[in-house]
Structure 1
Amino acid sequence: MEDNNSIQKNIELQRQWYGEPLGDRVRRLVKAFDVSQAFLADVLGISAPMLSQVMSGRRAKIGNPAVLARLIMLERKILTPGVASGDQAAIDAAMQDVKDSNPTVGRDTVPVHPGVEEQTLLAALRDVAEDENLVDAAARLDNDFPAIADLLRRAGKSAT
């Protein structure tokens, strides 16, 4: 019973830290790229057992920020035309690109695939929020995360 409580607590922490349980995010990647968890773990730069523990909630967080950055990169690559259409060559190239990446993660840096054009990224932000909400979010993030705030502000203003 105590183990189940610990797992539920870890899953709740994942919701707070990552927006949703990591198991849900990883399962979407496995399905979208049609790969095994072990293969995905290799691409992310994490051991398969560690990925399994994070997915099941036996561990609350991904300790290596570069692994999280690669996970985010893969989530973004799902939206690219080749991957979205199921083109195997595009899927393979996306996976290899992420595997070969060495992302740096800092207070003001969010890993963005260099092939994703800014307008595509701005349009994706506009799809999930109203312009005034994007500008409001930018104002709230200005002091602590100026690069993200700038991106949100551009998304909110460029549609007007």
Structure 2
Amino acid sequence: MVSVAEDTVARNRALQTEWYGEPLGDRVRPLLGRLGLSQSGLAGVLGLSAPMLSQLMSGQRAKISNPAVLHRLMAVEDMVAAPAFGALAPAEIKERLAEIKADPAATTSGIRMAASERAPVARPAHTGEQQAGRGPADPARLIQVLLREVASAAEIEAAAGLIADRYPELAEVLRVYGTGRTSEAEAHFVRTVLKETLSETVRDRTVMP
């Protein structure tokens, strides 16, 4: 017979899979090994208490309530997944984790500011100066955080399906940023910004005397 506690954990893990792609324990544990951090150490980077991170990982809690925490978690995941990560010295890893920890909360104003600059965000994957976790400099990640805070992956996919026939480009945006990988969202953002910037340049040159 399944106890109430076991049923709650199973339900929370199912919700985490729907919201975050997989249970948070499965996302976080590999990071601990790659970074050589304890749960308490990673919790400090993310801006959580150690007990709270433990509850999220064990399924005692389902949702990351602060979008900035999810933003930092994605930044840590991107750093660890980068091909250059294996060549980083411990001091460099520590420095980059400190940058992610200091990252301000992801906000819609940050998205607007980054988008208004019209600057392409293509960059080497975590080589040279660390970019991950700097909200206003990475609008694709901010859009991901915003969408995933207001709706689950299943809800975003359902919304995309409803509008796909009439508004295919909008449906693509929902899917890429709402349920896709960060690298896919960044590539889509770069393509979109470059396309619009090029169109504006051609239009400006056309109307010049």
Q: Same fold (TM over 0.5)?
A: yes
Distance in 2, Cα, partners of 1:56 & 1:37: 12
Query: Does 2:156 match 1:152?
Result: no
Deviations 1:38-95 (A, max 9, x none): 0100111000000000000000011111111110111111134553324212211111
Deviations 1:114-142 (A, max 9, x none): xxx72546xxxxxxxxxxxxxx9965243
SS in 2 for 1:90: helix
Contact 2:122/2:186, CA 8 A, preserved across alignment: no
Query: Does 2:122 match 1:118?
Result: yes
Distance in 1, Cα, partners of 2:28 & 2:186: 29
1:28 CA drift (Å): 1.5
Q: Which residue of 2 aligns with 1:75?
A: 77
Query: Does 2:96 match 1:94?
Result: yes
Given the superposition, is the C-alpha separation of residues 141 and 106 from structure 1 closer, same or farther in structure 2, using an over 3 Å criterion?
Answer: farther
Given the superposition, is the C-alpha separation of residues 107 and 53 from structure 1 closer, same or farther in structure 2, using an over 3 Å criterion?
Answer: farther
80-89 or 11-20, larger mean C-alpha shift: 80-89
1:24 CA drift (Å): 1.0
Q: Which amino acid aligns with 1:55?
A: M
SS in 2 for 1:118: coil
Q: TM-score, normalised by structure 2?
A: 0.55
Q: Please say which structure displays the higher CA radius of gyration.
A: 2
Q: Which residue of 1 aligns with 2:37?
A: 35
Unaligned ranges ≥5, structure 1:
110-116, 122-135, 156-160
Paired residue total: 134
Match of 1:142 among 166, 173, 197: 173
Given the superposition, is the C-alpha separation of residues 39 and 19 from structure 1 closer, same or farther in structure 2, using an over 3 Å criterion?
Answer: same
Distance in 1, Cα, partners of 2:70 & 2:84: 23
Q: TM-score, normalised by structure 1?
A: 0.70
Q: Which residue of 1 aligns with 2:17?
A: 15
SS in 1 for 2:81: coil
* CA RMSD, 1 decimal: 3.3
Q: Which residue of 1 aligns with 2:50?
A: 48
Query: Does 2:59 match 1:57?
Result: yes
Distance in 1, Cα, partners of 2:79 & 2:71: 12
Distance in 2, Cα, partners of 1:94 & 1:47: 20
Contact 1:22/1:55, CA 8 A, preserved across alignment: yes
Distance in 2, Cα, partners of 1:4 & 1:81: 38
1:17 CA drift (Å): 0.1
